Structure 1
Amino acid sequence: MTPTTITVRHPTERPAPARKLAKGAGLGVLLALLATVVWSGSFVATRDMADGVPPVQAVFWRWIIALLAVAPFAARPFWRRRRTIRRHLGFVALASLFGVALYNTLVHQAGLTTSASTMGMIMAASPVLMAGYARLGGERLGVRRVLGTLVAALGVLLLVGKGSLAVDLSAGDLWMFAAALSFASYSALLKRKPAGIDQLAFLFATFLFGALMLAPAYAVSLAVQGAFTVGTGTVGPLLYVGVLSSAVAFFAWNKAVSLIGAARAGVVYYLQPVCVALLSYALLGERLGLLGVACMALILGGVALASAPSSGPRAGGTPR
């Protein structure tokens, strides 16, 4: 008879898969935080160069710089996965449209007529839009999430209405609402990224296709508006949004969503308006005021409430 070996695990010792999941979740939160802080600075950089660089030209060069920045690391994985990318070309093109071409053009357009701090706070509503996409995908939204959505929406309305619900939206505010919707659409798409396309290949593909989508609009802008003046006031912000806000932050965000999901990454994203407001005050001299602080509290409180996990069990006894 073969003797039976019994393994005794210390009560406080977690199984290896659990430790691995916890480590992955911690890394995902840190990556989401990195992307959020870097993107906060991009609103300031966008607002800073808004008067000197036409929006389409700024976005086009942003992605050209981003492509050059990631090419040494991502060009080879992109080439190796080219057949898989071709099979999923519709998905990649849609992600490129929402996350690269459309979202950033809308942000730069908004920067012409609204402040960086307002841009950041309106973007704080995008995680609520992500929750809406989750509902359309069949996920149930509890009372807590619905209530949080309403509170965050109230904060945004009061912010853009300058304390009144009789909202008189500026053009920049409308552009930013459209940008928030575009970013939420991109984040929702990331959940469906084909497993055969790794992060670097996907990053390079979306940057490349996004730049190609912008090329015709860039040519029109050159013909109508002329080229912008190259100088320290334009090159510095373009390098920031091209290398850090695009190459670094998008890689970090995409990896974070793959590790912890769009909803949990969105919780970290709620810190963005705080970061933007502080940077805007320090670098641009934009004052938030008591109303802005109150609206920030409503937005952050609402989206935190909307994203809080339910304490009840799912079917099968798994906690939410």
Structure 2
Amino acid sequence: MDSQASSSPRDLRIAQILLFVTPAMFTTNMVMARATAGLIPPVALAELRWLGVVLVLLPFCGRELWRSRAALRREWRHLVVLGFLGMGICGAAVYYGAVTTTATNIGLIYATSPVMIILLSRLLFAESFSFRQGLGTALALAGVLAIILRGDLTTILHLTFTPGDLIILGAAISWALYSVLLKHWRSSLSVTARLSAIAFAGVVVMLPVQAYELAVIGPPAFDARTIAAVATLILVPGVGAYATFGYMTKHLGPNRTGLMLYLAPVYTALMAWLLLGEAFAIYHWLGAALVLPGLYFATHKPDRT
């Protein structure tokens, strides 16, 4: 069933606005992943992030989770799989990959997720994809390519990849699968309660790997810098990004919601310009000029008269 057909106009408007806000929060994770590379061990960083998310959300959904014990027992397998994909692989793997790649590369590689989401939706659940969505997706993809190639097609001949890039590609595939399953595995829990349960499942799933990391590397050193980094990851790309992503997936569906990742390279370049003083080149403007209308066509369902 079309997710937009079962959502109110107000829900759709909010979801479409969040489509342009949420990528900025996800971009924060990409930048922080690079900034904390070598500072906090990857699995420890992921564990601290998602344990923090659980602790932040519990005061708001703890009662609902207690009342929904039967639903949790029914859905626990789904919660574990989603926690493994969304918090384990998309958490620790991203931080591990960031050691040998850049924040910009992370954003660019994650921008392939929308195509993977579309393919997995069709393969696993036979989800339809309209001509309008195809046009919008093509425009958005062209915008991402304009940024990757810096407006010059010959750039593709000189692209290089690191082990970190391949790890991030695996995380992007995991994110695509998480996105599709999050929509199609129905849940009686609210968005906040479900996110809290998935995050807790992710923390539990990562415990064996965390134990190995502690034995080999040791615990992270806590100071003002590491505490600030973890707090940022908990609140912005943790609670904020995943909660709004779950809301959008519920009301727009995984295909339309996944397209927001096409904005990641644009937002990464914009953040680098604002915070680091890096130049915002003409190809960034070209990319934005293609991505923004592409997202509109791909996600906005015209009114029928």
User: What's the TM-score, normalizing by structure 2?
Assistant: 0.82
Whole-Å separation in 2 of the counterparts to 1:307 and 1:176: 25
Identify the residue that residue 139 of structure 1 maps to in structure 2.
127
* Deviation (angstroms), 1:305: 9.8
* Deviation (angstroms), 1:67: 1.2
Whole-Å separation in 1 of the counterparts to 2:62 and 2:200: 10
* Deviation (angstroms), 1:307: 3.6
Identify the residue that residue 68 of structure 2 maps to in structure 1.
81
Match of 1:215 among 203, 207, 212: 207
Match of 2:246 among 243, 246, 254: 254
The question of 1:189 aligning with 2:181 is answered yes
Among all aligned residue pairs of Structure 1 and Structure 2, give the percentage whose two residues are the same amino acid: 26
Whole-Å separation in 2 of the counterparts to 1:178 and 1:266: 16
Q: 1:242 to 1:179 in 2, by over 3 A?
A: same
* Deviation (angstroms), 1:245: 1.3
Show CA shifts across 1:71-109 (max 9, x none).
Answer: 111222112112112112221111111111111112111
SS of the residue corresponding to residue 194 of structure 1 reads: coil
Q: Unpaired segments of 5 or more residues in structure 2?
A: none
* Deviation (angstroms), 1:280: 2.8
The question of 1:98 aligning with 2:85 is answered yes
The question of 1:50 aligning with 2:22 is answered no
Larger mean Cα displacement after TM superposition, 271-280 or 296-305: 296-305
- Within 5 Å, give how 1:120-199 maps onto structure 2: 120-136=107-123, 137-141=125-129, 145=134, 148=138, 158=149, 163-165=155-157, 167-199=159-191
Show CA shifts across 1:129-169 (max 9, x none).
Answer: 1111122122355678398298579669858x992347542
- Tell me which amino acid in the other structure corresponds to 1:205: A
* Deviation (angstroms), 1:27: 0.9
* Deviation (angstroms), 1:182: 1.1
> How large is the RMSD of aligned CA atoms in angstroms?
3.3
User: What's the TM-score, normalizing by structure 1?
Assistant: 0.79
Q: 1:164 to 1:288 in 2, by over 3 A?
A: farther
Aligned residues: 294
Whole-Å separation in 2 of the counterparts to 1:141 and 1:209: 32
| 8 A contact 1:43–1:116 mirrored in 2 | yes
Give the structure with the higher percent helix. Answer: 2
| 8 A contact 1:129–1:184 mirrored in 2 | yes
Q: 1:305 to 1:72 in 2, by over 3 A?
A: closer
Q: 1:46 to 1:287 in 2, by over 3 A?
A: farther
Match of 2:236 among 211, 219, 244: 244
Show CA shifts across 1:33-74 (max 9, x none).
Answer: 332221111211221111211111111111111111111112
* Deviation (angstroms), 1:284: 4.7
SS of the residue corresponding to residue 253 of structure 2 reads: helix
Show CA shifts across 1:180-200 (max 9, x none).
Answer: 111111110121232422222
| 8 A contact 1:188–1:262 mirrored in 2 | yes
Whole-Å separation in 2 of the counterparts to 1:131 and 1:236: 36
Identify the residue that residue 99 of structure 2 maps to in structure 1.
112
- Tell me which amino acid in the other structure corresponds to 2:220: F
Whole-Å separation in 1 of the counterparts to 2:76 and 2:291: 37
Identify the residue that residue 263 of structure 1 maps to in structure 2.
255
The question of 1:233 aligning with 2:225 is answered yes
Whole-Å separation in 2 of the counterparts to 1:98 and 1:109: 15
| 8 A contact 1:106–1:179 mirrored in 2 | yes
The question of 1:59 aligning with 2:51 is answered no
Identify the residue that residue 13 of structure 1 maps to in structure 2.
none
Whole-Å separation in 1 of the counterparts to 2:79 and 2:214: 28
